[in-house]
C-alpha cells in the first residue's frame, strides 16, 4: 500500500469512528431518561422503577439493608393470599402469645372476630398491627410457619437482602433494601385484593363476639387523590426506620413503583413522591428542606457506623 493510500484509509477510519460515535450518542440521548443527579429526595434510601421494566430508573442507597417497619405488611398480605385460606373465614383476635417488639396499641378487643378479608384490609390500609399478627396466628402451621413462609417468599422473589422475624414490622429485625422492595411491590400488584385493600380510603369493620364497629382510614393521603392513580400503597414508621412509603402509581402515563425509606417527617415521603413524579415528567429535580438534609447526614453516619461495627464484630 502506498503512503498516500495509507493516509486515506486512516482518514476514512477516523471519519467512520466519529460517525459511529455520533450515532451512538444520539441513540443514547433519544433513549435516556431524566438526569438522575437532578433528583433531590428527603428519603435516605430510595428506588424508582417502571412496573414493566427490570432496571431501576433511580436509586439512592438502594442496596442498603435497613429496617422497613410496616412495609413488612405487604409480604404478610402476599403470604395470606398465596396460602389459599378462605377470605370469608371469621378469625379470632387472640391474646398475643409473645410480647410485641414495640408499641402495639390497638382498638380491637381481644376475643372478637372479623372476616379474614377485612382483617387483611385493615392491616394494609390502616396498618393495624393486631390485624397482621392475627393473620399469622391463623395461618396453617401457626405463627412460626407464617414467618418462615414470609422468608421463603422473599427468597423466591430474589429479595436476597431481606429477612423477616414478625408479620407486623414492629421489630427492627425486619430488614430489606429499596431495590428488594421494588420486587415485592411488583409481586403484590398481581393480586387484585391486595391492590384494593391497600388503597381503600375508609372502611368500617363489623366485628362480632362481641358485636361492635370500628372506623379505619388509609395512612397514605395520596390514595385520596385521583390524579395519582395509586394501585398499591403501604406506609411504615418506627423511630429507627423513619417514615417509609411504597407505592405503585401512575406517573407520566406509566405505572411506576416508588420505594421511599427513612424520611424525617410524616409528609416527607409524600413530598418525595411529588418530586419523583415531576422529575419523570419534566426532568426537574426539586429541592428538600435543610432539616431533611441534616437528618440524612445524621442517618448516613449512623448507617456507616453500624456497618463498621458489624464488620469488626465478624
Conformation bin of residue 280: beta by default, left when phi > 0, alpha when psi is -120 to 50: alpha
pLDDT of 260 reads 98
As a whole number of angstroms, the distance between CA 191 and CA 289 comes to 37
pLDDT digits (tens, 9 = 90+) for 123-152: 999 999 999 999 999 999 999 999 999 999
Average pLDDT score over residue span 18-38? 49
Mean pLDDT of 3-10: 40
- pLDDT value, residue 18: 35
Q: What is the pTM of this model?
A: 0.87
Q: Is 127 tagged catalytic?
A: yes
- The more confident residue out of 24 and 279 is 279
Among the ranges given (26-35, 167-176, 239-248), the one the predictor scored with the smallest mean pLDDT = 26-35
Burial class (CB in 10 A: 0-12, 13-18, 19+), 197: buried
Place of cell 406509566: 254
What span, in angstroms and rounded, lies between the C-alpha atoms of 38 and 51?
22
Does residue 198 carry a catalytic annotation?
no
| Cα–Cα distance for residue pair 79/152, rounded to 1 Å | 10
Question: Would you give the distance in Å from CA 88 to the centre of its chain?
Answer: 28
Choose among 128, 134, 123: nearest CA to 93. Answer: 134
pLDDT surpasses 90 at 307:
no
Give pLDDT tens digits for 144-183.
Answer: 999 999 999 999 999 999 999 999 999 999 999 999 999 9
Catalytic residue (choose from 43, 60, 70, 233) = 70
Residue 157: C-alpha distances to residues 46, 151, 152, 154, 187 (Å): 19, 10, 9, 5, 8
Q: Which three cell numbers stand for residue 70?
A: 410496616
* Active site annotation includes 73: yes
Which pLDDT score, from 0 to 100, does residue 252 have? Answer: 87
- Listed by start position, the domains of the chain span 35-313
What spatial distance separates the first Cα and last Cα of the chain, rounded to whole Å?
66
Catalytic residue among 43, 112, 126, 127: 127
Asked if 153 contacts 116 with a C-beta cutoff of 8 angstroms, the reply is no
- Confidence tier at 308 by pLDDT (50, 70, 90): low
pLDDT digits (tens, 9 = 90+) for 55-85: 999 999 999 999 999 999 999 999 999 999 9
Confidence class of residue 10 from pLDDT cuts 50, 70 and 90?
very low
Question: Please, which residues have CB within 8 angstroms of residue 48's CB and are 6 or more apart in sequence?
Answer: 56, 57, 58, 59, 256, 257, 258, 259, 276, 280
Strand arrangement, sheet containing 58-60 = 58-60, 45-50, 254-263, 242-251, 232-238
Q: Is the pLDDT at 27 greater than 50, yes or no?
A: no
Select which of 60, 73, 186, 299 is catalytic: 73
Topology annotation, domain 35-313: Beta-lactamase (3.40.710)
Residue 292 has pLDDT above 50, yes or no: yes
Grid coordinates representing 297 are 447526614
Give 210-236 pLDDT, tens digit per residue. 999 999 999 999 999 999 999 999 999
Amino acid at each position: 500500500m502506498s503512503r498516500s493510500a495509507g493516509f486515506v484509509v486512516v482518514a476514512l477510519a477516523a471519519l467512520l469512528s466519529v460517525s459511529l460515535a455520533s450515532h451512538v450518542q444520539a441513540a443514547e440521548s433519544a433513549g435516556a431518561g431524566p438526569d438522575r443527579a437532578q433528583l433531590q429526595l428527603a428519603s435516605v434510601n430510595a428506588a424508582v422503577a417502571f412496573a414493566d421494566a427490570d432496571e431501576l430508573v433511580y436509586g439512592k442507597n438502594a442496596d442498603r439493608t435497613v429496617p422497613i417497619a410496616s412495609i413488612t405488611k405487604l409480604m404478610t398480605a402476599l403470604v395470606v393470599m398465596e396460602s389459599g385460606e378462605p377470605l370469608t373465614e371469621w378469625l379470632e383476635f387472640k391474646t398475643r402469645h409473645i410480647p410485641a417488639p414495640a408499641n402495639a396499641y390497638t382498638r380491637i378487643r381481644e376475643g372478637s372476630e372479623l372476616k379474614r378479608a377485612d382483617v387483611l384490609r385493615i392491616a394494609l390500609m390502616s396498618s393495624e398491627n393486631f390485624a397482621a399478627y392475627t393473620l399469622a396466628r391463623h395461618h396453617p402451621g401457626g405463627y412460626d410457619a407464617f414467618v418462615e413462609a414470609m422468608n421463603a417468599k422473599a427468597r423466591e422473589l430474589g429479595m436476597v437482602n431481606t429477612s423477616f422475624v414478625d408479620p407486623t414490622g414492629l421489630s427492627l429485625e425486619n430488614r430489606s433494601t429499596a431495590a428488594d422492595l421494588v420486587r415485592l411491590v411488583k409481586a403484590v400488584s398481581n393480586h387484585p385484593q391486595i391492590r384494593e385493600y391497600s388503597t381503600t380510603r375508609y372502611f368500617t369493620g363489623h366485628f362480632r363476639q362481641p358485636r361492635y364497629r370500628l372506623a379505619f382510614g388509609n395512612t397514605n393521603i395520596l390514595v385520596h387523590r385521583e390524579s395519582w392513580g395509586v394501585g398499591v400503597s403501604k406506609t411504615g414508621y418506627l423511630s429507627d426506620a423513619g417514615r417509609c412509603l411504597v407505592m405503585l402509581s401512575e406517573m407520566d402515563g406509566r405505572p411506576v413503583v416508588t420505594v421511599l425509606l427513612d424520611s424525617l417527617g410524616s409528609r416527607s415521603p409524600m413530598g418525595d413522591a411529588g418530586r419523583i413524579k415531576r422529575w419523570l415528567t419534566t426532568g426537574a429535580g426539586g429541592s428538600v428542606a435543610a432539616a431533611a438534609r441534616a437528618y440524612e447526614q445524621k442517618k448516613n453516619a449512623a448507617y456507616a457506623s453500624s456497618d463498621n461495627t458489624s464488620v469488626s464484630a465478624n
